[in-house]
Amino acid sequence: MGDETKLLNLGQFYIDSKYILDSIINSLGTNMLDKLSESLNNMADNYHGKDSEIQINTLIVLYNELIDIENDLALISVGLSKIARNYRNVQLAFGVNKDKMLVFKYENQGKLSDHIDKRDTIDISGEVMVTYNNMTEIQKLIELYDEEIKTYRLKICENWLMGKGHDKMEFLFDRIIGKVEKYKEKLIEGTNKVKIAIDNYNF
C-alpha cells in the first residue's frame, strides 16, 4: 500500500501505539516525575547549605533526563499513530468501511533549572527520608518502565514488517532502551548519595 507499508494487524498496531502514550508515558513516566518533583521539593525544604546544592542538582539531572526519555518515547508513539492513520486512509480510499484513525497529541514537557544554595552552614532535617523512600520506589518503577518499553517495541516490530520509517522506529526504540539502562545506573547512584547525606547526620 503506497510506500509498501505492511502491517499484520492495523487495529492492534494502533492500540499498542496508544498504550505507549497512555500507560507508559502518561502513567508510569508521569508517576516517576511526580515522585522526583516531590523529592526535590522535600529536599529544598529540609536540606540547606552548599552540600544540599550538590544533592538537589543531582535529582534535577535525573528529572531532566527522564523528561528527555519521555519526550523521545512520545515522538515514537505519535509517529506510529501517523503510520496507522496513513495506512487507514489508504484503506478508506480503496473503499474499506472503517473508522478513521487520529494522530495522537503530545506536548513536550519542560526541564528544571539548577538549584542554587550558597549558604556555608548546613541544615538538614529527618524529613529528607521522604526523598530517600521516593527514590527507592522510583527504582522499582523504572524497572517496570524498561520492561514495558521492551515489550511494546517487540509488539510493534512483530506487527509492522516493513515500510517508510520502520528502520528509524527501531533505531529510536533501541536508543531509548539504551538511555533507560544508563538512567537506572544514575538513579541508583543518586539514591545512594541521598542515603549517605542522611546517614551523615543524627536526627
Domain ranges of the chain: 8-100+125-199
Burial 106-129 (b: 16+ CB within 10 A, else e): beebeebeebebeeeeeebeeebe
Grid cell digits, residue 126: 529527618
Measured distance CA(13)–CA(86) in Å, rounded: 13
Cβ atoms of residues 149 and 16 within 8 Å:
no
Burial 166-192 (b: 16+ CB within 10 A, else e): beebeebbeebeebbeebbeebeebbe
**pLDDT tens sequence across 97-134:** 788 899 999 999 899 888 776 676 666 777 889 999 99
Average pLDDT over residues 146-166: 95
Give pTM, 2 decimals: 0.90
Does domain 8-100+125-199 sit in CATH 1.20.1260? yes
**pLDDT tens sequence across 18-46:** 999 999 999 999 999 999 999 999 988 88
Average pLDDT over residues 168-182: 97
Check residue 117 and give its pLDDT.
64
Check residue 2 and give its pLDDT.
44
Measured distance CA(179)–CA(182) in Å, rounded: 5
**CA-closest candidate to residue 118, choices 56, 70, 176:** 56
Measured distance CA(157)–CA(177) in Å, rounded: 15
Name the more confident of 51 and 84: 84
**CA-closest candidate to residue 169, choices 2, 5, 32:** 5
Dihedral angle over CA of 170, 176, 182, 185, nearest 10: -120
Measured distance CA(187)–CA(177) in Å, rounded: 15
